[in-house]
Amino acid sequence: MSLKAVLFDFNGVIINDERIHLQLIDEILVNENLQPQKPQERQACLGRSDRACFQELLANRGRVVTEEYLNQLLHRKAEAYVLELEKLEKLPIYSGVEDLIYQVRSQNLHLGLVSGALRKEIELVLNRAKLADYFTVIVAGDDITTSKPKPDGYLLAVERFNLQYPELNLQPQECIALEDTPAGIQAAKLANMKVVGVANTYPFHMLQRCCNWTVDYLTDLELERVQNVFSGKEPQPRVSEC
């Protein structure tokens, strides 16, 4: 077995924008005459799609909404996100993203992205950061109805790679996922992928026990060692549940 594809999460791995998302969700809740998120709700939202977060937050507050109403909230939040990024002279892209992309491409591996963020938000950031051309497959929050920790997004990414590159015959176990939250890690593991935990959002020690590899920064990832595990030259890392 060999490593064929590297799949990035978006928020918390490529761009440091979790604070912006949580702030915008709170603003929308307050505008709806609802209480802002409690600390435990903020933690629960990390790594999950905006749709899933809003559904749970509204249900927690006894608010029953139609799908149309929910879509309006998501649209408002996406528009506000665009405006927030326009205020920034420089996007908060995590250090090491470009270097890792270069490593992946230099070793002829395929590059994809799986996120609960809306495609509009992802494309805005990737285009502005001049990274869009590198990701041949993107699965966004508006491509699926479920959210991490369910594996649907990762499985759809594999399907799309195989549609785009039929000769690749990609299997989930031939991929690694770069994730920063328990929800994302669980989604990738349920898809039968190995996981690199990036300690951007949660402490290193929390991720270490449930990921195949864990790094403080993307620059610490030794892609060659990862490939050695896939090829059987190094033993499989031991992994437990988060």
Return the SS3 of 160.
helix
Find how far residue 204's CA is from the centre of its chain: 17
Over its length of 242 residues, how does the chain's per-residue pLDDT go in tens digits?
Answer: 899 999 999 999 999 998 899 999 999 999 999 999 999 999 888 889 999 999 999 999 999 889 999 999 999 999 999 999 999 999 999 999 999 999 999 999 999 999 999 999 999 999 999 999 999 999 999 999 899 999 999 999 999 999 999 999 999 999 999 999 999 999 999 999 999 999 999 999 999 989 999 999 999 998 988 998 888 776 666 655 65
> pTM of the predicted model, to two decimals?
0.92
Cα 5 to chain centroid, rounded: 15
User: Which amino acid would we find at residue 107?
Assistant: Q
Look at residue 232 in the predicted model and tell me its pLDDT.
79
Q: What is the pLDDT of residue 235?
A: 67
Residue 1 has what pLDDT?
Answer: 80
CB 28 within 8 A of CB 58: no
In what helix (H) or strand (E) does residue 60 lie, and over which residues does it extend?
A: helix 50-60
191, 154 Cβ separation under 8 angstroms: yes
- Are 44 and 56 spatial neighbours (Cβ–Cβ below 8 Å)? yes
Q: How many CB atoms lie within 10 A of CB 224?
A: 10
Residue 240, pLDDT score? 57
Domains and CATH numbers, the chain: 5-16+93-231 (3.40.50.1000), 18-86 (1.10.150)
